[in-house]
Amino acid sequence: MESRIMEALEFSLIVDTPIKYLELYCRLNNLSDKNFYIAQYILELSLVEFGFMEFSSSMLGSSVTYLVNKIRKISP
């Protein structure tokens, strides 16, 4: 059954991860590479905490972007 579904989808699956949303939001906010790497570090710290699993990937990505903007005092 699963193989027929995969064949119908032509094995084209997309997995939404927090890092994909982080890349998107950082690009939209024109964050520098340094700020992106800070955001990525904070995001990776949040991924090892079980309590953050209740939040969606988009929420984590946008929250980390917001946090870096506040920490680095970047106005949009």
pTM summary value: 0.75
Neighbours of 21 (CB within 10 A): 21
* Model confidence pLDDT, tens digit, residues 29-49: 988 999 999 999 999 999 898
CA dist 65 and 8 (Å) reads: 37
CA dist 25 and 31 (Å) reads: 9
What's the CA dihedral at 13, 19, 25, 30 to 10 degrees? -120
Token couple for 57: 């990937």
* Model confidence pLDDT, tens digit, residues 50-72: 888 899 999 999 999 999 999 98
Neighbours of 60 (CB within 10 A): 21
Strand ranges (DSSP E) for the chain?
A: none
